[in-house]
Amino acid sequence: MNDLKILLFALISLVFTSCATAQKVPQVNAKIDSLAEKMLVYQLSNGAWPKQLADKSVVKYENKLTEQLLAKIKATPVKHATIDNHATTREINSLVKAYSETANKKYLEAAQKGIDYLLEAQYANGGWPQYYPDKSMYRAEITYNDDAMINVLGIMLNVTTKTEGFAAIDDKYVAKSKNALEKGLSCILKTQVLQNGTPTIWAAQYDENTLQPAKARAFEPEALSASESVNIVRFLMKIQQPSAEVKNAIENAVKWFDANKIVGFKFDQLPDKKDKGLVADANATIWARFYDLKTNKPIFGDRDNVIYTDIKDISYERRNGYAWYGTWGNNLVREYPKWLKMLAKK
C-alpha cells in the first residue's frame, strides 16, 4: 500500500512539473508572417531599418534570403538607419499589422524597438533628420522630402490615438508619442514658408539648426515643394481638434495651391516620343515640383548645381529622370471643402 502511495505521489509531481515547464517554454506553434520574418532579419541593432545595404544595394523584401544576401545584411552598420524612402516607418506599420493577424509577439517587440528609434532620432525642435545617427551631407537636415517626416508623425498619431492596430503598442509609448507629435506639429508650423508675412507651403528639407529651407542633392534646390506640401496638409487635416494655428496653416496652403496651379498642360512624352516636356491638354491641371521661395515661379535643378527657370534648359537625363510636374494638388483642393464641413460639425 505504501508503495502504491509513493507511485501515485510521483505521478502527481510529474504532472505538475510538466505543466510548469510547459508554461516556461515559448510557443513553438506561433503563427508567422513571411514578410514580417524578413523584416526582423533586416532590422538594425538600433531598431531602425536601412533603405540600402552596405554595398548600396536597395532593400527589396521580395528577394530570397540567400547566404550571400544574409552576409550583406549582417555587414550593414547602423549609420544606414533612415526614414528615407519609407524605410523604418514602412516596417513598423507592417509589423504592427502582422502582429494583429498572428499575435506573434516578436513582431510587436520589433515594431516597438523601431518606435524607440524614431523617438530617439527626433530633434528638440520637433523635426526628424533623413538619417540618424549619420549626419553627413544633407542627411542631418529636417526632411519632408518623399514624406519622410510625415510618415513618422503618422505613426506617432496612431500610437497616441490607438488606431490602425497601434492599440497593441505598450501604453508606455502613448505619452512619449503624444509629446513627439506635439513637437512635430510645432516644427511644421514653424517651417511653413512666409512670403511678406503670409504662410505659403513648405520646402522639401530644412537646416536642422536655423529651420531655413535647404538644398539636398544638386538637382534639389532650396525651394517650395508642391509634392511634399500636399501630404503635410493632409496630415494636418487628420488632427481631431486642430488649433487656430493649424487651421490657418491649412487654409493658407490650400490658397497657395489654388493660386499657383498650371492649367491646360500636362508633363508627358513630347510628340516625337524621344523626350519629355509640357504638352497642351485642356483638361489638365498640374503643379511644378519646385517653386522659387519668393516669386512662386517654377524652378528646376540639375547635376551641375545650377537653377534653371525652363525645364528645356536642364539635361536630358534629369528632365526624363525626375518628377518635375505632377497633379499633386488636385485631390487636396477637392478635399478641403469636405474638411471644412467636417470641422463645422464638431
- Compute how many other C-beta atoms are within 10 angstroms of the C-beta atom of residue 310: 11
DSSP 162: T
Half-sphere exposure of 262 (CA within 13 A, CB side): 22
Q: How far apart are the first and last CA of the chain?
A: 79
d(CA 151, CA 249): 19
* Residues tagged active-site: 85, 217
What single string gives the DSSP state of each residue in 240-303? SS--HHHHHHHHHHHHHHHHT-EEEEEEEE-TTSSSEEEEEEEEEEEEESEE-TTT--B-EE-T
Residue 178 identity: K
d(CA 120, CA 83): 13
The DSSP H or E segment spanning 308 is strand 307-308
Please state at what angle helix 34-42 crosses helix 105-121, rounded to 10 degrees: 40
Please tell me whether residue 110 adopts helix, strand or coil conformation: helix
CB-based burial of residue 292 (10 Å sphere; 0-12 exposed, 13-18 middle, 19+ buried)? middle
Question: φ, ψ for residue 145 (rounded to 5)?
Answer: -50, 135
- Compute how many other C-beta atoms are within 10 angstroms of the C-beta atom of residue 204: 26
